[in-house]
Structure 1
C-alpha cells in the first residue's frame, strides 16, 4: 500500500454537465467510469479509472457552490494522516482553511485548503485502512505531471517544500515569465524523480491554480479528440525536456486540464 501523505493521489472534476464530461474524457483519455458504490442515483459521484486503476471522480457542482459562482474546475486531493491537525499546521505556515474538516460517509475526512498564493487543494484521510497503489509513471489515463501557477512564487515554494517535504530539482529560466522550478513529491532529487513544477501565475490565468497533466499515448491523437469532442486546445503541442509533448486545454464545460504524451506512438 502506497503512503500518499503530502502527495496528490486523487483528482476531482466538478462540472456543470457530468455525463457530457464523462463522455469527453472517456474518449480523450480512455477512461472508464462507474457510480460510486455502484449505486445509480439522479446525481451520482462517478469514479473514473485509467489503465492502472482509479484516478478520481466526476460530480456536478453543488447547488450552493454554483450559487456562489463556481465554474467547472479540476481539484486535487493530498493524503493526510490527520486532516484537522494538518489544517491547523498549514494555516500557521501561511495557508488558509477554505472549508473546515468534515466527514464524507464511506469515504473519509476532508478539508479544502489554499496555499499562501491562493491556489486550492484538498486534504483527505480515508475511512478505511485499505489504500490505493500508485500508478506506474506515465500510465495512460493517470496524472503524469502537476503544475502550480503560483500566486506567490517564493512563499508557495517554501510552503510545499517545508510543509510536505517536497524536494526541488533544477530551475529553468523562462525570461519574463520568471522561473520554472521542478519539484518532487517523492523526495528524489534527480530529473526522473520530478513530479511537477511551480511557476509564477501567468497573466492569462484568471487566478492561481494547480493544473494536472493526464497521460495520453499520442498527443496528436489527443488534440484531435479534444477538438472533435467540443473542447479547446489552449496551447501546444509543445515539446518538453525528456522527449514528451504537452498541451493545455479546456473541456466543453470550461474546466482547464492538460495532457502529456508522445508523438506518433498511438
Structure 2
C-alpha cells in the first residue's frame, strides 16, 4: 500500500441541510452508494463509496451552532497534526475549529489560510487502504483533482508550499483570467491554483470527481434538481471538466470523457 504524504487529499465532506437527499443526488451523478456509519458516535454520518468500494466522501447535516449554508470541504493529510497546525499559524493561517477527535477515524481541525479560505487537516488514527483521491484511469466516483480559487495565488502557494512542500509545477495561461498554476508535490500533481479575482470564481477549494461520461453525469445532475454552471470544457488528456450546483446549492466539479454527446 502506497504511503501518503502530508498535504495529500484524504477525504471530502458535504454539509447539507438534507444529507439523505444529497446522497440520492450524488448517487445518480457520481455512481456512489451510501450507507450510514454504524458507529453511534458519528451521529448518522453518511458515508459515500465509489463503485470500486472505496469510501470517498461523507455527507452530514450542519452540526449544532454551525452556519446552515454548508458546502463541500477538503481534508488534507498531516502525519503530525500538532506540528502542522503550529506551522500553519506561523505561515499566517488560523485554526477556527479543533483540533478534536473523530471516534475511530482521526484527529482533525479546520484552518483558514491567509486569504481566509477554509480547509481541514486530518491525522488518521490508522492508515486506510481506501483512496478517496485516486488519479487513475477508470477510478470512477473518486476525486481526481483539487482546485483553489483565491484572491492571492502567489500568497496561497507560499502558504501551502511552506505547510506541505507544494511547489509550482508549471502553469497554463488563461488570457485575461491569469494563469492556472499546477501544484507539485513529489511526483504528484493533485491540482491547481488560480485567481478568484480574475476568473470571478468563488473563493474556495473545489474538488472534481471522475465519471464515465460527463454528459450523462450533467444530465443526471439537472434531472435531480442541479444546475450546470461551467463547461463541459476540454482539458489536456482528452477528458472534459464541468462544474455544477447541486440540488441544495453547493458547487462541485465533474471530470470525464465526452461520451457520445456533442460537447
Whether TM-score is above 0.5 comes out as: yes
Give the corresponding residue for 1:198.
193
Give the corresponding residue for 1:153.
153
Distance, in Å, in 2 between the alignment partners of 1:153 and 1:96 is 18
Label 1:10 to 1:110 Cα distance change in 2 as closer, same or farther (>3 A). same
Give the corresponding residue for 1:132.
129
Distance, in Å, in 1 between the alignment partners of 2:74 and 2:15 is 11
SS of 2:79 mapped into structure 1: coil
Q: Is the 8 A contact 1:226 1:251 kept in 2?
A: yes
Give the corresponding residue for 1:123.
121
1:25-47 deviations in whole A, cap 9, x for unaligned? Answer: 00110001111136699x51011
Q: Is the 8 A contact 1:13 1:73 kept in 2?
A: yes
SS of 2:101 mapped into structure 1: strand
Alpha-carbon distance, 1:4 to partner: 4.3
Label 1:240 to 1:136 Cα distance change in 2 as closer, same or farther (>3 A). closer
1:108-127 deviations in whole A, cap 9, x for unaligned? Answer: 21110111222211111122
User: Aligned-pair RMSD on alpha carbons?
Assistant: 2.1
SS of 1:64 mapped into structure 2: coil
Q: Is the 8 A contact 2:92 2:113 kept in 1?
A: yes
Asked if 1:24 is matched to 2:22, the reply is no
Give the corresponding residue for 2:13.
12
Pairing 1:163-182 to 2, within 5 Å after superposition: 163-182=163-182
Pairing 1:25-44 to 2, within 5 Å after superposition: 25-37=26-38, 44=44
Q: Which runs of 5+ in 1 are unaligned?
A: none
1:133-157 deviations in whole A, cap 9, x for unaligned? Answer: 4335241001111110013111101
TM-score normalised per structure 2: 0.90
TM-score normalised per structure 1: 0.89
Distance, in Å, in 2 between the alignment partners of 1:176 and 1:48 is 38
Q: How many equivalent pairs are there?
A: 255
Q: Is the 8 A contact 1:247 1:259 kept in 2?
A: yes
